[in-house]
Structure 1
Amino acid sequence: MHLSEILMHLGEDRHNYFNAVSPPVMQTSNFAFDSLDDFRQAIAQEAQQPVYSRGVNPTVAILRKKLAALEHAEDALVFGSGMAAISAAILAHCKADGHVVCVAKPYSWTHSILVNYLPRFGVSHTFVDGTGPEQIEAAIQSNTTLLYLESPNSMTFELQDLEACAAIAKKHGIPTCIDNSYASPVFQNPIDFDIDMVVHSGTKYLNGHSDVVFGVLCGSYETIGRVFAGEYMTLGGILSPHDASLVIRGLRTLELRMQRTHESALEIARQLEGHPAAGKVLHPWLPSFPQYELARRQMTGAGGLFSFYLDADTFGQAERFFEGLERFLLAVSWGGHESLVMPATAFYGVPGREDSTTPWNLVRLYIGLEDPAWLWEGLEKGFQYMRG
């Protein structure tokens, strides 16, 4: 199916709502039935039929269809956050005394559910350098029930060879799940490489306007049906109809936004590579990136997120860069219209928390939809202030 068809028309049965171009927001918690037989039939098909909006809501159902198609999946579920989607995917594939293999340096809250939550129920884990498939295979145990990937990750952007990982997992009878938030379905479709499940923090590129927090899990009808009947309905981490409508609106420009942010970020990353105040630049689309060839083989773009190291002698000098920096908002997350900066230094000296293990001179940039030349002027302000 063509990308334009998915983003602009799929799932939108306009003749059902007065031929309105934009789908209505079905802001209702409940649905009524004309007869007991209709009621029974709907309950029997609650994964497909509106009964109660914790299960199926018509506005949310349109979004599900679009997201499944974007990821070349059979079906999808949407959640109230990316972490709700990740948690549902992991919990659905865990059992007592089981084991999860996860790539090293995943999203911090993915790390948390594996380290702080699942061990309460006897589920162990192994974090493994996923840059070599042989390392992943070596980590698999007889009780392993899930291989969890994140390619690239969202700080230093290590990739996994998705086709090789899928082959290893299938040889051992283990399902695979990947966080595809970095690349978006515009630039990477893991299911095409035989990965079983795809999750997103849809808060990022999919929504794209920094006004909705949501997540998505994509997979086969069988997988999604099982998660719907289990973790989705039981834990209730759902997305509201109103927020679903905002995401549908955001999807209209997904392809345009992804191309713009990819081109602008690559332009700035190339400029940073030659800058005397910047050290190594970590961007999968630069030939200097260690896994450049793999990135080009399984991705068609890299979006707006990348990192670089400041050529700073002291922690204080690094902090001066951010004091002088202009035109970037100091914030977490990415994927919206606005450009952001997240300094590693922000995670040092936080009351009640241990200092980060990320090098203090690492800087993560997200390049939004602004003019890259205008953004570069803001970066130069930071470099000038850092050098004094």
Structure 2
Amino acid sequence: MKRYDDITNDQEICMHYNTDTNPYYGAIIPPIFENALFTYPSHEKFMEAENNQENHYVYWRGTNPTVSIVEKKLADLERGEECKCFASGMAAITAALFSSVQAGDHVLCISNLYKSTMDLLSYMEKFNVSYSTIYSTNMDDIRKEILPNTRLIFIENPTNMNHEIVDLEKISHLAKEFNIRTVIDNTWATPLFQKPLLFGIDIVVHSASKYLGGHGDIVGGALITSKQMMKKIFEKEYLLFGGSMGPHEAALLLRGLQTLPLRMKIHQENTIAVAKFLDSHKAVKKVNYPGLPHSQDNPLVQKQLTGFSGLLTFELKDATFEKVKEVINKVKVFKIGVSWGSFESLIMSLNFGNNEKQLIEKEHISPGLIRLSIGMEPAEKLISDLEQALNK
């Protein structure tokens, strides 16, 4: 794997790496190659390409020049060897899961994961793949949960919703001790703020719909790993599942990457300001955000994260559905909706007032938890909006 000292300037990768203007008549933006197939001058050349589709352009479902530019950028940002871009984050997660297990295997989930990831694991039970969740980041607790048939450990860092920090290096060492593969969803931190491969994690997945795209107009995913692992994934879970990213989406993702460092700086500054405000508010019981000053004292935060994104959660002291609904309905600047990581600020809760209270408490999540995606509006405007929503 590439180390930090191989390529030290992530901003240079985002803006200029692998976008040589010479082949495109000096155009500063590469063209969108939207043709479905690529032809060859002889049968011999065609056979060579057909037998090595990973490194040749044959058919859009396998490789595409526009998509390849983005893939090379993301691989280098993560300090990985190979990247493939997918039609959605879930397509990337699906490829990571199906490439890592087979019938009879067990997947161990570390604390809270994205709900659709858990739904997919439930679906995979029909193929005799089981899973369990350990709601602890303690290595001794995690070790006890490893079964003889555990073949994969799946992580989000920080963990979903509660934003706890997992020791990636210790997890990878533990996994290798038992010959277990590790997969991490690195969407929250982005490749700018966390590079899990350098801590021994095997596969990194991203939802490119979030910060990597950054403009709320793309759904996409990415998977980054070693050449050896990617070769197997490309031949099966990529080509056969058909979840490849299209060239138009790749062009939008390329645009997003060019401004990623600048956008993440604003997200971070805004979110730290909002988190500090919430942390001091009398109606708030707890703020879950590793970017708070007292959270930054955590040695793991200092070791693994070089920055903080714009997603946080906070828990109301009055954890009733009525209070959660009241706060969400009173905001004016924040928009109510799913997803996150774009320029606009969003608010939502998992508490829908039916049977969700018992379900989310079972997952160690407070029913009074509200999630905020902090966008690029002025921080003082966001704070004022939350203040009037929280105050009676």
TM-score between the two structures when normalised by the length of structure 2: 0.93
Comparing 279-288 with 186-195, greater Cα deviation is found at: 279-288
Q: Distance in 2 between matches of 1:66 and 1:165?
A: 27
Cα distance change of structure 1 residues 313 and 215 upon mapping to structure 2, 3 Å threshold:
closer
The answer on 1:219 being equivalent to 2:222 is: no
Q: RMSD of aligned C-alpha atoms?
A: 1.8
Q: Distance in 1 between matches of 2:200 and 2:360?
A: 35
Match of 2:95 among 80, 83, 88: 88
Q: Look up the match of 2:343.
A: 337
Residue 314 of structure 1, CA deviation: 4.1
Comparing 292-301 with 81-90, greater Cα deviation is found at: 292-301
The answer on 1:17 being equivalent to 2:28 is: no
Q: Distance in 2 between matches of 1:311 and 1:130?
A: 23
Match of 1:156 among 149, 153, 162: 162
Q: Distance in 2 between matches of 1:130 and 1:57?
A: 42
Q: Look up the match of 1:235.
A: 241
Q: Look up the match of 1:298.
A: 304
Cα distance change of structure 1 residues 284 and 313 upon mapping to structure 2, 3 Å threshold:
closer
| Conserved? CA contact 1:304–1:335, under 8 Å | yes
Comparing 275-284 with 315-324, greater Cα deviation is found at: 315-324
Q: Distance in 2 between matches of 1:279 and 1:74?
A: 43
Q: Look up the match of 1:349.
A: 354
Q: Distance in 2 between matches of 1:121 and 1:276?
A: 49
SS in 2 for 1:127: strand
Q: Look up the match of 2:265.
A: 259
Q: Distance in 1 between matches of 2:350 and 2:168?
A: 29
Q: Which amino acid aligns with 1:292?
A: N
Q: Look up the match of 1:208.
A: 214
Q: Which amino acid aligns with 2:368?
A: N
Q: Look up the match of 2:141.
A: 135
Cα distance change of structure 1 residues 167 and 363 upon mapping to structure 2, 3 Å threshold:
same
Residue 343 of structure 1, CA deviation: 2.1
Q: Which amino acid aligns with 2:387?
A: E
Residue 378 of structure 1, CA deviation: 1.0
SS in 2 for 1:300: coil
| Conserved? CA contact 1:307–1:363, under 8 Å | yes
Q: Distance in 2 between matches of 1:49 and 1:257?
A: 34
Q: Which amino acid aligns with 2:350?
A: A
Within-5 A mapping of 1:1-388: 1=7, 2-115=9-122, 117-289=123-295, 292-312=298-318, 314-345=320-351, 347-349=352-354, 356-357=360-361, 358-384=365-391, 387=392
Comparing 6-15 with 295-304, greater Cα deviation is found at: 6-15
Identity, in percent, stands at: 38
Q: Distance in 1 between matches of 2:316 and 2:105?
A: 42
| Conserved? CA contact 1:73–1:218, under 8 Å | yes
Q: Distance in 2 between matches of 1:208 and 1:287?
A: 26
Residue 322 of structure 1, CA deviation: 1.8
Q: Distance in 1 between matches of 2:320 and 2:104?
A: 46
Residue 348 of structure 1, CA deviation: 2.9
SS in 2 for 1:223: helix
Q: Distance in 2 between matches of 1:104 and 1:183?
A: 17
TM-score between the two structures when normalised by the length of structure 1: 0.94
| Conserved? CA contact 1:187–1:300, under 8 Å | yes
Residue 360 of structure 1, CA deviation: 2.7
CA-to-aligned-CA distance 1:324-363 (integer Å, 9 cap, x gap): 2110010111110001111233x33389x98644433211
Q: Distance in 1 between matches of 2:34 and 2:281?
A: 52
Gap regions ≥5 residues in structure 1:
none
CA-to-aligned-CA distance 1:228-255 (integer Å, 9 cap, x gap): 0011101101111001000000101101
| Conserved? CA contact 2:328–2:348, under 8 Å | no
Cα distance change of structure 1 residues 350 and 128 upon mapping to structure 2, 3 Å threshold:
closer
Comparing 266-275 with 353-362, greater Cα deviation is found at: 353-362
Gap regions ≥5 residues in structure 2:
1-6
CA-to-aligned-CA distance 1:139-195 (integer Å, 9 cap, x gap): 222222111111112311122100000111111111111011111111100011011
| Conserved? CA contact 1:130–1:159, under 8 Å | no
| Conserved? CA contact 2:319–2:367, under 8 Å | no
Q: Distance in 1 between matches of 2:348 and 2:323?
A: 16
Cα distance change of structure 1 residues 359 and 319 upon mapping to structure 2, 3 Å threshold:
same
Q: Distance in 2 between matches of 1:291 and 1:177?
A: 26
